[in-house]
Amino acid sequence: MKQSVLNLQNSIADALGEDVITSEVRFDELTIEISPSAALNAFQVLKNSLGFEQLIDLCGVDYLDFGQANWETMTAANQGFSRGVFDFEETSDDALDMERRFAVVYHLLSVQHNLRVRVKIYPELTSMPVVDSVIDIWNCANWFEREAFDLFGILFKGHPDLRRILTDYGFIGHPLRKDFPLTGHVEMRYDVDKGRVVYEPVTIENRVNVPKVIRKQSPENV
């Protein structure tokens, strides 16, 4: 484990104190978790006092069904590899009530110290995940936050122009949520008679492919 990473972990602990919920080093990378209420103050300290002047990336994460080994041979789900194509009429109550389902992950870089840190924030409410915008700290967060809103439905309080950036303005749902169907809810095509693009219910026929089981050959079968 690099001494520089351990020194950084101690420096952040001294600077942020109880604002740091967890602090962990894996593969020589430091990841800390900060509560949503303390995030803006913590980010100001990280930038101005510890030298993390650059926001490399900001992304959303959906931990729904995290850790389920559906692709392992002995524990594979019966639905097969195509189970994700089936439409979800509505998100289950368990998914809406799940604690710490969504997270916003920030990757920070200190050019002057040649150090990196990963910061996680878990919104308090799963039904309406909200965190503070960091645009006033790192202006480059503008489009990153719009992307996280578009794909995960995470709201950023204080964002000056929070709207979709990758999907259409009339798009329904957030496509990177784990309970969003792979086929989507609607399909789009150009209608010659109407002379415009039209949206229609998905007509893709669902298939179920059973996971292939590969077993080692026994000596008598060789």
179-207 residue pLDDT tens:
888 778 888 889 999 999 888 888 776 66
Residue 166: what are its φ and ψ, rounded to 5°? -110, -30
For the domain bounded by 3-213, which CATH number is listed? 3.30.460.80
Looking at residue 171, what DSSP letter applies?
A: -
pTM: 0.80
- Report the greatest alpha carbon distance in the chain: 70
- Gap between the Cα atoms of 108 and 17, Å rounded: 19
Cβ burial, residue 74 (10 Å; 0-12/13-18/19+):
exposed
pLDDT in tens, 104-153: 999 999 999 999 999 999 999 999 999 999 999 999 999 999 999 999 99
pLDDT in tens, 36-92: 999 999 999 999 999 999 999 999 999 987 876 555 555 555 554 444 444 444 556
Measured from the Cβ of residue 167, the count of other Cβ atoms closer than 10 Å reads 14
User: Pairing state of beta strands 115-121 and 29-34?
Assistant: parallel
Are β-strands 102-110 and 115-121 bridged in parallel, bridged antiparallel, or unpaired? antiparallel
Q: In this predicted model, what pLDDT tens digit does every residue of 11-43 receive, in sequence order? A: 999 999 999 999 999 999 999 999 999 999 999
